[in-house]
Amino acid sequence: MVGKLKREPWSAMGKYVLITGATSGIGLAAAKELAVRGADLGIVARNQTKAKETVAQINALTGGQTKVDVFLADLTDQQSIRGVASEILTRCARIDVLINNAGAMFVKRILTRDGIEKTWAVNHLAPFLLTTLLLERIKMSGEARIITTSSHGHKMAKKGIAFDDLSAEKRYSFLQALMGGANFRYGETKLANILFTTELARLLEGTGVAANCYDPGLVVTNFNQDNGTLARMTMAVMKRFSRPVEKGAETLVWLADSNEISGESGKYYADRKEAIPTAAACSEEFARKLWEVSESQIRNSEIS
Average pLDDT in the 45-59 region?
98
Longest dimension (CA), the chain: 54
Q: Which of 179-183, 232-236, 264-268, 275-279 has the lowest mean pLDDT?
A: 232-236
Residue 304 per-residue DSSP state: -
One of 186, 214, 268, 269 is an active-site residue; which one?
Answer: 186
The percent of residues above 90 in pLDDT, for the chain, comes to 82
Residue 24 per-residue DSSP state: S
114 and 78 in contact (C-beta within 8 Å)? Answer: yes
pLDDT category at 243 given cuts 50, 70, 90 is confident
> pTM to 2 decimals?
0.90
Query: pLDDT at residue 166 above 90?
Result: yes
Question: Using CA atoms, how far apart are residues 223 and 165, in angstroms rounded to an integer?
Answer: 25
Superfamily of domain 16-303, CATH level 4: NAD(P)-binding Rossmann-like Domain (3.40.50.720)
203 and 222 in contact (C-beta within 8 Å)? Answer: no
Give residue 181's pLDDT: 75
Grouping H, G, I as helix, E, B as strand and the rest as coil, residue 89 is helix
More confident residue, 213 or 228: 213
Residue 244 per-residue DSSP state: P
215 and 269 in contact (C-beta within 8 Å)? Answer: yes
pLDDT digits over 114-159, tens only?
999 999 999 999 999 999 999 999 999 999 999 999 999 999 998 9
More confident residue, 234 or 215: 215
Question: Using CA atoms, how far apart are residues 197 and 146, in angstroms rounded to an integer?
Answer: 9
253 and 198 in contact (C-beta within 8 Å)? Answer: no
pLDDT category at 301 given cuts 50, 70, 90 is low
Question: Using CA atoms, how far apart are residues 116 and 111, in angstroms rounded to an integer?
Answer: 5
Query: pLDDT at residue 112 above 70?
Result: yes
Residue 128 per-residue DSSP state: H
State yes or no: is 16 an active-site residue: no
Give residue 171's pLDDT: 82
